[in-house]
Amino acid sequence: MTKKEYIDKLTKELGSMSYNDVKDILSDIEDHFDESIEAGKTEEEAASMLGDPVQLASDYKEGMTLPVIIKKNTSSGSKPKAKEPTSATVMFVLLITIFIAIPSWVVLFGIVLSMVLIELACVAGAVALLCTCWFYGGFMVSGLLAGLTLLFFSVFGFAVSYFAVNYFVKGTKWYIGFMKNVWHNGI
């Protein structure tokens, strides 16, 4: 399979992932092809190191990285895969999840939720202050400036809240993928 055919098929299989993730993955794959060709391999050999594009997409969706995938594909006979997780793996996953992950996610979720609620309260306060100045105060300068300041603070806070929620979700996806990898491949 040529580089173009491989990347086209992989792009189709990665369709459900975010644009930035797909862009990063395709960049890594193109770099792999370029490095393999520089090392004297053909496009077909570089593609065979990556394995089937459908399986590669599945591995990426499970949170694996390109070096791990290539190592898995090239050392298929050297290290047997465990059929069932060992007791050490099970204990590791359970302990990390119970004592570190769950409390951390509860705290982070509380922080993000409180940020969003504070921003909603700021917007409501700014609108109320501006309406009060308009209807009852005849554009009191101090009330108008306070309302606009609160409104600008709210817009800034919403941007921060957006990024906090975005990274909270990405962190959760990464953690789940990491734990799946540990569960399937061991510690």
0.75 exceeded by pTM: no
Q: Is the pLDDT of residue 81 over 50?
A: no
Q: Is the pLDDT of residue 73 over 80?
A: no
Radius of gyration of the chain (CA): 25
| C-alpha pair distances (Å), 47 with each of 32, 102, 142 | 9, 40, 67
Q: Are 101 and 140 in contact (CB under 8 A)?
A: no
